[in-house]
Amino acid sequence: MLRVIFCFFLLLTSLSCISQAYRINLTCQQAEKLGQLIWKNEGQQKQENLTTWNKNEDFPSLGLGHFIWYPGVEKGPFKEQFPELLQFFKNSGVVLPAWLARSEQAPWKSREQFYREFDQPQLTELRLLLNKHSDLQVQFIIKRLETGIPLILLNSNKTEMKVIHYQLARLTALPEGIFALLDYINFKGEGVLSKEAYQGQGWGLKQVLLTMPLKYDDPLRAFALSADEVLTRRVKNAPSNELHWLKGWRVRVHGYQSIMVN
């Protein structure tokens, strides 16, 4: 029966245009709840965690979604999101502090400098700004998913596109499924950049959607198991030891099975 439904769905989705904007439909209450869940995953909903710099990383992670901001002109392998968030703020009418508006790169050149200045005016002001505009950060994350899905489809072959459409339909039928998509794309990206891959294998949303097992009727369980598999593969392929991250990553993705969004 599942196979018949799958084939019928493929027939319908094969007629869709991948360039069409993808629309995520949420009520204001659902968007707020999902934003708080993402913030819980990223920073335990603590204001001080709106500005962090993890050990063994070359950049600070800022805001509700821990958006990356590189401190130099040369960018690392991971997608930088914080400058895009600042532009989103500007477009939404937010007046940025002068020092932030003129900063093209993160003004802290090392983790040590960042934490020396943690309670000084710039970082204190930044945390207050980010705390005040949590709603815009949720909108920014939703926008990333809406633009990220067409990008994933554009970077997929016809067979992959059909599978991705099918799995997206299963997940977006549930607000909890939408949360899993929002959280994961913010967490590990779209999975289409060649530099965000180890040994040619990515770990983004595209890879999770393609790896989801069809045998599970529960799409949240299928997504969680797939994300676990993809992230475990990343750790195995990594050029340096990333094993210390894996336990927390697994807790995060398996948590998708137990969330409740009204």
Asked if residue 112 and residue 180 are part of one domain, the reply reads no
Residue where a domain stops, chosen among 148, 172, 200: 148
The widest CA-to-CA distance across the chain, in whole angstroms, is: 62
Give the pLDDT confidence score for residue 9 in this predicted structure: 40
Asked if residue 215 and residue 116 are part of one domain, the reply reads no
- Number of helices (H) and strands (E) in the chain: give both, helices first: 12, 5
Asked if residue 45 and residue 144 are part of one domain, the reply reads yes
With beta carbons less than 8 A apart as the criterion, state whether 190 and 145 touch. no
User: Could you tell me which of 186, 195, 200, 201 has the C-alpha nearest to residue 231?
Assistant: 201
Is pLDDT at 21 greater than 50 in this prediction? yes
Confidence band of 15 (pLDDT split at 50, 70, 90)? very low
Average pLDDT, stretch 129-157?
Answer: 94
96: in domain? yes
Asked if residue 159 and residue 144 are part of one domain, the reply reads no
Q: Which amino acid is at 10?
A: L
- Number of domains the chain is built from: 2
C-alpha 74/C-alpha 59 separation (Å) is 12
Residues present in the chain in total? 262
17: in domain? no
Is pLDDT at 246 greater than 80 in this prediction? yes
Print the domain residue range for 251.
Answer: 155-262
Residue where a domain stops, chosen among 148, 173, 200: 148
**Backbone CA torsion sign across 170, 153, 65, 58:** positive
Q: Is the pTM of this model over 0.75?
A: yes
1: in domain? no
Confidence band of 75 (pLDDT split at 50, 70, 90)? confident
- The CA distances from residue 252 to 40, 224, 228, in Å, are 10, 9, 9
With beta carbons less than 8 A apart as the criterion, state whether 162 and 21 touch. no
5: in domain? no
- For residue range 93-141, list pLDDT tens digits in order: 999 999 999 999 999 999 999 999 999 999 999 999 999 999 999 999 9
- For residue range 34-70, list pLDDT tens digits in order: 888 888 888 888 899 999 999 989 999 999 999 999 9
Contact partners, residue 85, CB within 8 Å, separation at least 6: 63, 67, 137, 140
Residue where a domain stops, chosen among 148, 169, 187: 148
Confidence band of 152 (pLDDT split at 50, 70, 90)? very high
Q: Please count the other Cβ atoms lying within 10 Å of the Cβ belonging to residue 124.
A: 13
Asked if residue 172 and residue 143 are part of one domain, the reply reads no
- The CA distances from residue 113 to 100, 105, 185, 220, in Å, are 17, 15, 30, 41
Confidence band of 31 (pLDDT split at 50, 70, 90)? confident
Is pLDDT at 8 greater than 60 in this prediction? no
With beta carbons less than 8 A apart as the criterion, state whether 174 and 212 touch. no
Asked if residue 235 and residue 217 are part of one domain, the reply reads yes
119: in domain? yes
210: in domain? yes
11: in domain? no
Task: State percent of the chain over pLDDT 70.
Answer: 92
Is pLDDT at 5 greater than 70 in this prediction? no
Asked if residue 129 and residue 38 are part of one domain, the reply reads yes
